[in-house]
């Protein structure tokens, strides 16, 4: 049996540039992992059956699950004649814009690489992961990175300035596909990715706050007023900067000083069930 951590991510910057011939969108994203994680338990079994076990009713237990797809890809690609029970202990909210499913898949890839003694490098695992989902390659490496292409091209960045991250997820799920379908590229407010990268490289906390941006945010806020309400309330309670992560619906706020964290968290808990105060993990670390 092996236990692997699968941390969540937030998007400090997310830009959508254009639609590609393959149907995906060309993106530029600055992402970083945070200290909120699922735990993935891997138990090798006889035969070749892959089984997903979770007590969260929103976690699919079949081929729709990205961790299932990860195990299946490794089995087929490397002719593995072993099975696995994958138990997913959820902490990351489902369909939240925090890459929970992608991180579970990345954790499964890294753990099974060891469990099945495949000897693959992180680069090789990331290449396999990119065939499963756009965020999986980033989740293999973790830390902080600039992701381009459809999200599979990863350039490592330094650790961002230290701060608290307050996450608030309303009691709805958001389909990434639906958000992209409603995106009008000619109306996108493009964030300045280069300025965000510069702020991180210079350790400039105020610069990071000033250049938070998400090209998908206006679409989600229009379709889901509760997300807009959470953002407004987080700003009112005093977060230094506030943004929606991914396609939503989770909103995060950056707070530099711990003395302000409790005020923001307590204010949000009055109307939002899932609120977390975490730190950025910042630098790359093994998921196991």
Q: Would you name the residues annotated as active-site residues?
A: 9, 135
* Contact between residue 88 and residue 129 where contact means Cβ atoms under 8 Å apart: no
* Contact between residue 141 and residue 282 where contact means Cβ atoms under 8 Å apart: no
Ligand-binding annotation for 102, yes or no, is yes
Tokens for 244, please give them: 């929606």
Ligand-binding annotation for 142, yes or no, is no
Ligand-binding annotation for 97, yes or no, is yes
Ligand-binding annotation for 94, yes or no, is yes
CB neighbours of 171 closer than 8 A, spacing ≥ 6? 273, 274
Ligand-binding annotation for 285, yes or no, is no
Element containing residue 278 per DSSP (H, E): strand 274-279
CB neighbours of 260 closer than 8 A, spacing ≥ 6? 238, 239
Ligand-binding annotation for 95, yes or no, is yes
CB neighbours of 27 closer than 8 A, spacing ≥ 6? 14, 15, 16, 17, 134, 147, 148, 149, 150, 151
Chain centroid to CA 258: 24
Ligand-binding annotation for 100, yes or no, is yes
Length of the chain: 288
Ligand-binding annotation for 197, yes or no, is no
Tokens for 83, please give them: 């099975």
Q: Which of 32, 74, 63 is nearest to 199 (CA)?
A: 32
Ligand-binding annotation for 239, yes or no, is no
220 exposure class (CB count in 10 Å sphere: 0-12, 13-18, 19+): buried
Ligand-binding annotation for 246, yes or no, is no
Tokens for 30, please give them: 């600055």
Annotated binding-site residue numbers for ATP? 93-103
Annotated binding-site residue numbers? 93-103
């Amino acid at each position: 049996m092996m236990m692997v951590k699968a941390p969540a991510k937030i998007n400090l910057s997310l830009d959508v540039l254009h639609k590609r011939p393959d149907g995906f969108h060309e993106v530029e994203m600055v992402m970083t992992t945070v200290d909120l994680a699922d735990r993935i338990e891997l138990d090798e079994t006889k035969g070749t059956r892959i089984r997903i076990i979770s007590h969260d009713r929103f976690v699919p237990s079949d081929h729709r699950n990205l961790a299932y797809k990860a195990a299946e890809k490794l089995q087929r690609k490397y002719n593995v004649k072993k099975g696995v029970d994958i138990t997913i202990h959820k902490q990351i909210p489902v369909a939240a814009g925090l890459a929970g499913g992608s991180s579970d898949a990345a954790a499964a890839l890294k753990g099974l690489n060891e469990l099945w003694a495949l000897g693959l490098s992180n680069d090789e695992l990331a290449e396999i992961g990119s065939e499963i989902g756009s965020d999986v390659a980033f989740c293999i490496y973790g830390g902080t990175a600039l992701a381009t292409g459809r999200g599979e091209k990863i350039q490592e960045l330094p650790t961002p300035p230290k701060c608290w991250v307050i996450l608030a997820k309303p009691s709805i799920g958001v389909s990434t596909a639906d958000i992209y379908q409603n995106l009008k590229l000619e109306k996108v407010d493009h964030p300045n990715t280069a300025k965000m990268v510069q702020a991180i490289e210079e350790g400039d906390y105020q610069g990071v706050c000033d250049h938070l941006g998400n090209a998908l945010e206006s679409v989600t806020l229009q379709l889901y007023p509760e997300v807009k309400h959470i953002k407004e309330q987080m700003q009112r309670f005093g977060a230094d900067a506030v943004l929606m992560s991914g396609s939503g619906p989770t909103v995060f706020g950056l707070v530099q000083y711990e003395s302000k964290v409790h005020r923001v968290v307590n204010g949000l808990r009055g109307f939002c069930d899932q609120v977390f105060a975490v730190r950025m993990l910042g630098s790359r670390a093994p998921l196991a």
